[in-house]
Every structure is written in structure tokens, then in C-alpha cells.
Amino acid sequence: MQLDLSIFGPKTRSLIGLDISSSAVKMVELGSDGKGGYRVERYAVEILARDIVSDGNIVNLEAAAESVRRAWKKLATPTRQVAIALPASHVITKKIIVAAGQREEELELLVESEANQYIPFALDEVNLDFQVLGQAPSSPDEIEVLIAASRKEKVEDRVAVAESAGLKPKVLDVESYAVLAAFELVQQAQIPDGGKGQIVALVDVGANVMNLTVLRDGQQLYAREQAFGGNQLTQEVARAFGMSFEEAEAEKRRNNLPEKYEVELLRPFLDSMMQELTRALQFFYTSTQFNQVNHIVLAGGCAVIPGIDEMVASRTQINTIVANPFANMVLADRVRSKSLLADASSLMVACGLALRRFDE
């Protein structure tokens, strides 16, 4: 199957960012505000039934496609072109240094021979792409090139889901890169001086995994993944109130649970989350030369829990904000600002993917 997909692909006139996570299908469509900024045209979230996506793998293609179709209907857009992303765990990336001034074909051959050394699969089993990052830090006669490769079946599963839903995949990205693209907007809008020279810990707590990425001036200093996420709380809710997992997830999102939920379930979950977060920061301090963080940015589904930013700030003594990549954007009339604010932190991947429309 030949795919017209490039991880570092060209921009396209209209594009939906499509994020298929383990808990929901999320879509974002951005336009230009006419002044060099962005406008949120529309967005949609469709909760996924449990076990449709597991560990980043699409287990039930038909059910996933049906959820994508429903989300696209909610979006009410004529746009069918989408940017999709693979979990970082499905992608092997490697930076290489090569001599500058080479033609595209020469670079392709070099990348293939380098990829052969780093990729534990036959090259005909993978989708391979590369991007020139610029001059190598060590020498003006060399350039730095980023190689990205993924097993073809991982790519084809996501493409099949989008196509079965009647959509046209145009760009393939990596979830962690999409998050970083959205994070740049967060930094500009929500952190003093745009975060210049400051160390920022991006803490993304999703359904199953907590990701800590520590950055300074756009450079990644540290990354760590821990098995902890919002599904643990949803399971507790389902058990305590005799609901299905899907009902528990929906009621949790609506903040529509009996009184004892907060004391008996939410607080112990938040305590566990604080322990995981402080442990992750401790690992950062002990395994690098850094001993402080200036700001914490919370993202992912768990960042929408009311008061979570104050709780993290008081436990860590670090300025904490909830990520909103749309903070400086104009909203189209059809977008409800209150709903978008509630969902913003969980739309980082979808927003980063939607930004691919504006790639140079």
C-alpha cells in the first residue's frame, strides 16, 4: 500500500487535526485570523468505548472508524483532509550528522543506510522519512538530519480508520511533536516573557500514561513516561457507583457524580497523582545537572480536574498553569468559549496537528 503521507509533509489549504487517543477521538480545525494569528474554526470530542485503542494500538478498527465518523459529523465541516499522529512509542527517531550541500537523492540514500543501523526491522516493513534540521552545532560544513521510522502496519491502521470514516489522511506526525507544537503557543500566551531562558516542565496526564517533558528555549532537557492516568479514577467510579466504564467516564467529565465522589475517590486519586508528579521531578533533578523548574504546565485529560493547578502549585511550590493552546486565538462564532476552555488541555495533540496546515 503506497501512502501519500509524509511525517514532515507539505502544508495543505484546509486540514483537521485528528487525535485518536485511548479515551477519545479529538478533532480541531484552525484557520487564519487575517493578522498572522489563528482562529479556532471548530472542534469536537467523541468518547471512545474502552479497549478500542490499547497502548496506542487500534484494536477495533471498525469501532474506531465509527467514532471518528461521529466526531467528524459533530464538527460539521466540509473539510475531509486530516493530519494524524502515531504515539511516540511506535516511532523510532534518530538525529544524524551528514556533510552539507548534498542533493535530495544523495540524502535519501544516506538516510536509508543510517536507518539500516538503527531500525530493528527490514526497511521494506517501515515507513521512513527525514527532515533537515539545519546546520550541525559542531561544524558549518555539516547538517543535522532527523530520521523517523515506524512499522507500516502501525501507520496503515490509523490511515484505514480515517479512510473508513470518509476522511483523507494528508500528514502523518508523531504525537510528542504535535504536543510540542501546541506547547509553543502555550508558552507564548501563558508564561511570562514567553518562557525565555526558563525551565518548564510539561506534565501530560492522559488516560493511562503520565509524560513529563522538561524544556528550556524549545530544547528538550529530559523526558520520562510513567504508567499512571485518569482511567484508574474512571474504574474506581464505575466500581463505586455500579456504572459501566463508559458511563463513569461521561459522568466524570460532566462533573455529575454523587457527593462522596470527591472525598472517597477524587482526593485519593489526586494524592497518587501528586506522588507520581513529585517522583518524576525528582528523577529529573537526580539524573541531570538541573535542580529547579520555573513553571509546570499541565496537559491531558486529568488537567481539567477543577483546582488541579492550585494543588500542584502548593505541593511543589512551583508556578503551575493548565495548558490552553487556544488562549491567544480568535474563536469562530460556532465555538463555545466555556466548552473549549474546559477541553483545551486535552486537545494539545489535535491542536498541534491542526497547526500543520500552516507549515512553511
Q: What is the pLDDT of residues 7-61, one digit of tens each?
A: 555 555 789 999 999 889 999 999 998 898 999 999 999 988 888 998 889 999 9
Identify the CA nearest to 295 among candidates 219, 187, 189, 222.
Answer: 187
Question: Other CB atoms closer than 10 Å to residue 262's CB: what's the count?
Answer: 13
- Tell me, what's the pLDDT at 1? 29
Residues 200, 302 within the same domain: yes
Full strand arrangement of the beta sheet holding 16-20: 168-174, 81-86, 16-20, 24-32, 38-47, 330-331
Residues 170, 32 within the same domain: yes
Q: How many angstroms separate the CA atoms of 144 and 130, rounded?
A: 10
Q: How many angstroms separate the CA atoms of 237 and 222, rounded?
A: 34
Kindly state whether residue 73 falls inside one of the protein's structural domains. Answer: yes
Residues 145, 158 within the same domain: no
Residues 282, 200 within the same domain: yes
Kindly state whether residue 77 falls inside one of the protein's structural domains. Answer: yes
Residues 206, 296 within the same domain: yes
Kindly state whether residue 1 falls inside one of the protein's structural domains. Answer: no
Kindly state whether residue 244 falls inside one of the protein's structural domains. Answer: yes
Kindly state whether residue 195 falls inside one of the protein's structural domains. Answer: yes
Residues 158, 42 within the same domain: yes
Kindly state whether residue 28 falls inside one of the protein's structural domains. Answer: yes
Tens digits of pLDDT across the chain (360 residues): 234 455 555 555 789 999 999 889 999 999 998 898 999 999 999 988 888 998 889 999 999 999 999 999 999 999 999 999 999 889 988 888 888 888 888 888 888 888 888 888 888 899 888 888 888 888 889 998 888 899 999 999 999 999 999 999 999 999 999 999 999 999 999 999 999 999 999 999 998 899 999 999 988 999 999 999 999 999 999 999 999 988 898 888 888 899 899 999 999 999 999 999 999 999 999 999 999 999 999 999 899 898 999 999 999 999 999 999 999 999 999 999 999 999 999 999 999 999 999 876
- Tell me, what's the pLDDT at 3? 44
Residues 66, 167 within the same domain: yes
pLDDT tens track for 67-81: 999 999 999 999 999
Q: Classify residue 42 by its DSSP letter.
A: E
Identify the CA nearest to 299 among candidates 208, 222, 202.
Answer: 202
- Tell me, what's the pLDDT at 306? 87
Residues 266, 164 within the same domain: no
Residues 134, 212 within the same domain: no
Identify the CA nearest to 177 among candidates 109, 76, 90.
Answer: 90
- The total of structural domains in the chain comes to 3
Q: Where are the alpha helices (DSSP H) in the chain?
A: 61-75, 104-118, 152-164, 175-190, 231-241, 245-254, 260, 267-287, 308-316, 337-343, 348-354
Tell me which residue range forms the domain holding 232.
190-322
- The CATH code of the domain that includes 164 is 3.30.420.40
Kindly state whether residue 112 falls inside one of the protein's structural domains. Answer: yes
Residues 206, 300 within the same domain: yes
Kindly state whether residue 139 falls inside one of the protein's structural domains. Answer: yes
Q: How many angstroms separate the CA atoms of 262 and 269, rounded?
A: 10
Give SS3 for 6: strand
- Tell me, what's the pLDDT at 218? 85
Q: How far apart are the first and last CA of the chain?
A: 28
Residues 235, 194 within the same domain: yes
Residues 235, 338 within the same domain: no
- The CATH code of the domain that includes 126 is 3.30.1490.300
pLDDT tens track for 192-216: 999 999 999 999 999 889 999 999 9
- Tell me, what's the pLDDT at 249? 86
Residue with cell 528523577: 283
Give SS3 for 149: strand
